[in-house]
């Protein structure tokens, strides 16, 4: 298990930073609802679970470096897209961008107790599209990292597709 573009294996008892990150999310990472996120595509071929892990890890790093509440932002990163439906197929009262943060917060609150930073970061992670501005620095970090990871996940998939096309055109692989 690792975050996209990271060389650090997160399940590594000899890596202090990996242990510290996993300690932040240990009570939620193994929940059945979290595992179910692996069955939903988020961006290109990236699962929603992988996307959430990416957002949690990079938010953790950024908050830790700045002396902020890295545990809360890591937990919120894991929970920010906790909705168990394919948004491309299910219609809701509001556009997905406005609906899913509230759905994720509701689902997260059913699974675990959340502090104010975690709640705010989850419900406002789509800022500036959210109904309110984030109240905490950690919430802004999560919002920015979510956007960064979405772009990174699309770029990685695009890079893989281009590499595959090049190999196909050179006869290295067949369809």
Domain that holds residue 59: 16-169
Residue 53 pLDDT: 94
CA dihedral 48, 133, 73, 149 (to 10 degrees): 40
CATH number, domain containing residue 89: 1.10.3210.10
**Distance set, CA 98 to CA 49, 101, 112, 121, 130 (Å):** 20, 7, 23, 14, 6
Identify whether 57 is part of a domain. Answer: yes
Domain count, the chain: 1
- 5 domain-assigned: no
User: What's the pLDDT score for residue 8?
Assistant: 78
pLDDT at 6: 74
Phi, psi of 17 (to 5 degrees): -65, -40
Residue 141 pLDDT more than 80?
A: yes
Q: Give the pLDDT band (50/70/90) at residue 164.
A: low
pLDDT in tens, 14-58: 889 999 999 999 999 999 998 988 786 665 677 889 899 999 999
CA-to-CA distance for 97 and 168, rounded, in angstroms?
37
- Percentage of residues of the chain with pLDDT beyond 90: 49
Q: CB–CB of 131/112 below 8 Å?
A: no
> Would you say residue 165 lies in a domain?
yes
Instruction: Indicate whether 7 belongs to any domain.
Output: no
10 lies in a domain? no
């Amino acid at each position: 298990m690792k975050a996209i573009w990271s060389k650090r294996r997160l399940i590594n008892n000899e890596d202090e930073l990996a242990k510290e990150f996993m300690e932040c999310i240990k009570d939620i990472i193994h929940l059945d609802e979290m595992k179910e996120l692996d069955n939903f595509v988020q961006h290109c071929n990236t699962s929603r679970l992988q996307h959430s892990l990416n957002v949690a890890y990079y938010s953790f790093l950024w908050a830790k470096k700045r002396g902020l509440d890295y545990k809360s932002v890591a937990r919120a990163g894991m929970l920010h897209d906790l909705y168990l439906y394919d948004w491309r197929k299910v219609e809701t009262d509001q556009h997905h961008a406005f609906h899913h943060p509230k759905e994720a917060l509701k689902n997260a609150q059913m699974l675990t107790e959340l502090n104010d930073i975690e709640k705010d970061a989850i419900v406002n992670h789509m800022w500036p599209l959210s109904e309110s501005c984030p109240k905490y620095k950690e919430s802004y970090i999560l919002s920015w990292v979510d956007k960064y990871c979405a772009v990174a996940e699309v770029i990685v998939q695009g890079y893989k597709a281009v590499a595959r096309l090049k190999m196909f055109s050179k006869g290295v692989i067949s369809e």
